[in-house]
Chains A and B, each alone.
Chain A
Amino acid sequence: MPRKINRPAPSPMVDTPEVAPLEYNQCQAAVKRLTEYLSDELDAPETEAVQSHLSQCKGCFAKFHFEDTLLRTIRAKVEQVQAPATLRDKILGLISAPKI
């Protein structure tokens, strides 16, 4: 039984399967948006398109999740650094001086 009743007959000139290149293109389209996706810079439809792909593609999901985790780890580790107390005192002293 055919999956689609009105499916047009494939062109005799095209002998490559349809599914593989489509999947490849979807991965490629998602990866192209990786930088902005991680920065939350995509608009809503584009974010949704990436997320929809990630929900269907295990490989991309693992890689995107890794990139996100890496960014969060980097941020968390860098944020452990604090300004020296002497610098704070110096700045407070400078802005309290009658004229700087």
Chain B
Amino acid sequence: MDKTDRARETFEREMVVHLDALYRAALGMTRDKTNAEDLVQDTFVRAFSFYGQYQGGTNGRAWLFRIMTNLYINGYRKKNREPERVSYDELEDFYLYNRLSDAQSRGIGAAPEAEVVNRVEADAIREAIDNLPDEYRDTVILADINEFAYQEISEMLEIPIGTVRSRLSRGRRLVQKAIWAYTNNNQR
């Protein structure tokens, strides 16, 4: 086995294992299966050609995500930029909790936690994330779905940590608002 074969084998073992996580994030960012597949494919091709620069033993998942967010922000998003679809109204803290508590007190639902765990469907969550404006969506996907630290997200998206925090705070509220709207339209 020559050096190139060994590199391929290590790449497959250390990098391709993160394929599902990258695909999910790409799907969330691009909101389109074909674009998500293209983005992930480009990410792996680029990662493989720069694999010599990757320092083994460091965080491979974060390295791949950095490549992917870079490709996405500088390529895919610019090409496919859409107008924002979510209103910028100020949203209260605990938006969904308050709505569900209110519904429960009116006798049309169970306790907020039980409602969320048992009744909020994957489709509602997908739609809630899909409908976030780009900058909030990226931050929510990286922080809440993939559990990257604010510092890592700040480097990936090239924004200050304070901006990561504020986008996440607002993004989470917008997700809750969308989940509530979806739940109301489909279940009640």
Contact = CB atoms under 8 A, between A and B. Distances in A.
Interface stretch (B41-49, B55-63, B79-87): B41-49
Contact of B168 (A39, A73, A74): A39
Interface string B129-143: 100000000000001
Nearest to A83: B23
Interface residues of B, number: 44
Given A63-B94, A88-B16, A95 B125 contact: no
Residue from A31, A36, A66 with most neighbouring chain B CB atoms (10 Å): A66
Given A41-B149, A70-B176, A78 B122 contact: yes
B102 interface: no
Contact of B97 (A67, A71, A75, A83): A67
Nearest to B171: A35
Given A36-B165, A71-B144, A75-B144, A91 B8 contact: no
A67 B150 contact: no
Interface string B79-115: 0000000000000011011000000000000001100
Interface in B34-76: 37, 40-41, 44-45, 48-49
B24 interface: yes
B157 interface: no
* Chain A contact surface mostly: helix
A96 interface: yes
Residue from A39, A75, A81 with most neighbouring chain B CB atoms (10 Å): A39
A87 B41 contact: yes
B19 A83 contact: yes
Nearest to B118: A73
Contact of A81 (B27, B97, B121): B27
Interface of B: 8, 11-12, 16, 19-20, 22-24, 27-28, 37, 40-41, 44-45, 48-49, 93-94, 96-97, 112-113, 116-117, 120-122, 125-126, 129, 143-145, 147, 149-150, 165, 168-169, 172, 175-176
The 8 closest A-B pairs by CB, nearest first: A83-B23, A77-B122, A35-B169, A91-B44, A66-B97, A95-B48, A63-B94, A83-B19
